[in-house]
Amino acid sequence: MSAPERLLGVDAVSVVLGGRSAVRDASLTVAPGELVGLLGPNGAGKTTLLRAVLGLLSPSAGSVEARGPVGYVPQRHEFAWDFPIDVAGAVLSGRTRTIGWLRRPRAHDRAAADEALELAGLTDLRRRPIGELSGGQRQRVLVARALAAEPRLLLLDEPFTGVDVPTQDLLNDLFGRLAADGRGLLMTTHDLAAAARTCTRVVLLNRTVVAEGGPELLADAEQMLRAFGLDRAVAAASGAEAAA
C-alpha cells in the first residue's frame, strides 16, 4: 500500500536566529483536505517555522518538503497598506511570481485573481483603494492575494487577529471549503476556540512540537500546560472546551 500523499513534510527542523534556538527538532505534516492548526504561546516559533517552510529562513538541521504551489497569508501589519493600489490590483499581485516582473498579466492570471476575489467576498470592493479598507476587509485581501497563486498548500499566519466576528465566520467557512476541495492549510492562531471548531488536526508548538492530534487535544489540560504554562493553559483549555 502506498503512503498517503502529503503536501507538506517538516522533518526534524531546527532554526537558529541570532545565536538562539528558535525552533528545535520540529516535525509535522499537512495532507490534502487538512486544516492543521499550529498553536503555542508568543515566542514559540510558529512564524519562524512558517518562514522556514517558505524558504525565507534556512534550517540549521532537518528538512522541509512542500509539494505544489504554496500560498502565504502574512500577518496584516506586514503588508504596505499605504501603497496606491486598489483591491483587484493587490490580489493580482499574488501572481507576480507566475507572471514575472514587468510583464503584463495574461487572461488566465486575471481569471485566477477574479476567482480569488469571489472566494473572499471582495468582488464588490475590487476598485476600492486598499488604504480605505477596514481591518476585516484587509485580511480578506491578503487571503485572496494568496489564493490568486492557485496554491495546493496555504500557510496562514494569525488570520483571525483583529478581525470582527462576521469576518471570522466568513474566513472559517472559506478555509473549510478550501480543505474540502482537497487543499492543505497550515494556520497559526491564538484563537483556541476557533481552532477547536474548525481544525481537523492541531499541533502544539513551544520551540519544539509538544503534542499533536485532533481538536479535542485543546481540552487536554496536561498537554496545554506543557505547551502554554499554567495560567494560559487553564484559560486556553477552558475556551476550547466551551467551543466543543
pLDDT at 68: 80
The three state secondary structure string of 42-73 is CCCCHHHHHHHHHCCCCCCEEEEEECCCEEEE
Domains in the chain: how many in total?
A: 2
d(CA 123, CA 5) in angstroms, rounded, equals 34
Mean pLDDT of the chain: 89
Give the SS3 label for residue 213. Answer: strand
CB 7 within 8 A of CB 32: yes
Q: Provide the residue range defining the domain that includes 94.
A: 80-150
Residue 131 shares a structural domain with residue 191: no
pLDDT at 69: 87
CB 143 within 8 A of CB 159: yes
H-run or E-run covering 156: strand 153-157
pLDDT at 191: 83
pLDDT at 104: 84
C-alpha pair distances (Å), 22 with each of 15, 57, 203, 211: 6, 11, 17, 18
List per-residue pLDDT tens for the chain, 244 residues long.
455 689 999 999 999 998 899 999 999 999 999 999 999 988 899 999 999 999 999 999 999 999 888 999 999 888 889 999 999 999 999 988 777 667 788 899 999 999 999 999 999 999 999 999 999 999 999 999 999 999 999 999 999 888 888 888 899 999 999 999 999 999 998 888 888 888 999 999 999 999 999 999 988 888 888 888 755 555 555 555 555 5
**Domain termination site, one of 104, 121, 150:** 150
Residue appearing with cell numbers 500577518: 75
Residue 163 shares a structural domain with residue 117: no
Whether 29 maps to a domain, the answer reads yes
d(CA 71, CA 51) in angstroms, rounded, equals 12
Residue appearing with cell numbers 503584463: 104
Residue 226 shares a structural domain with residue 107: no
pLDDT at 5: 83
Whether 223 maps to a domain, the answer reads yes
**128-156 per-position pLDDT tens digit:** 999 999 999 999 999 999 999 999 999 99
pLDDT at 237: 53
Between CA 157 and CA 113, with CA 87 as vertex, the angle to 5 degrees is 80
**Domain termination site, one of 91, 116, 150:** 150
143 C-beta neighbours (distance < 10 Å), count: 26
